[in-house]
Amino acid sequence: MKKLIILIAVLFTVSAQAKIEIKHWQVGSEWTKKSDSYSLTIDTDITSERFLWLTLAGAPVDRLFVLANADKTKSMYLNFTMDSDHFEAVKDALGTKYSLTCEKSTVTNAMGAKFINEKCSYTEDGDELVLEKYDGKISEMSLTIANTKDLDEWNKKKDLEKKSDI
């Protein structure tokens, strides 16, 4: 009986730590903002109230965007934006903590130049981590953590709002 209680305690401890977490940022945190989202950026203006000082694998995070779930009770989406020159360092650091699955593809800019993009992902308990080397711009990479169930509910709510907006 004693061994069973210890085994159950160990299982709950392991399962409680199974969230995707980057520098103490994770989805599912209590939402205390009045708005649906907020953004933190690197800003050289000392008067800025939205200043961010965060690095991932030595790469400065230029922007962190956080979005609430549909009923605004918890965070459901985090997006870290960094310079794409740091992609390999961030990928290697994430690879020590999570078993990433990566795919390569070709992207083209407005001038017709082609670049090899790389997109890596990891999924655990309904949370998904996605790292993309070129996310919209060849100068920016992104790291996104989202809860897929909450994101689906949020998208359904937004779709209903669009349909009723006549």
Domain hosting 96: range is 26-163
Q: What CA–CA distances, in Å, run from 152 to 17, 94, 148, 155, 166? A: 24, 25, 6, 5, 23
- Supply 163's token pair: 């349909």
- Supply 63's token pair: 């922007």
Indicate whether 127 belongs to any domain: yes
Indicate whether 6 belongs to any domain: no
pLDDT tens series, the chain, 166 aa: 444 343 344 333 333 444 889 888 889 989 988 888 888 887 655 554 556 788 999 999 999 999 999 888 999 999 999 999 999 999 999 999 999 999 999 998 888 899 999 999 999 999 999 999 999 888 999 999 999 998 888 888 888 877 776 6
Indicate whether 134 belongs to any domain: yes
- Read off the pTM: 0.79
Indicate whether 4 belongs to any domain: no
Distance, in Å, from the CA atom of 127 to the CA atom of 111, rounded to the nearest integer, reads 36
Number of domains in the chain: 1
Contact 141, 107 (CB under 8 A): no
Indicate whether 61 belongs to any domain: yes
Indicate whether 157 belongs to any domain: yes
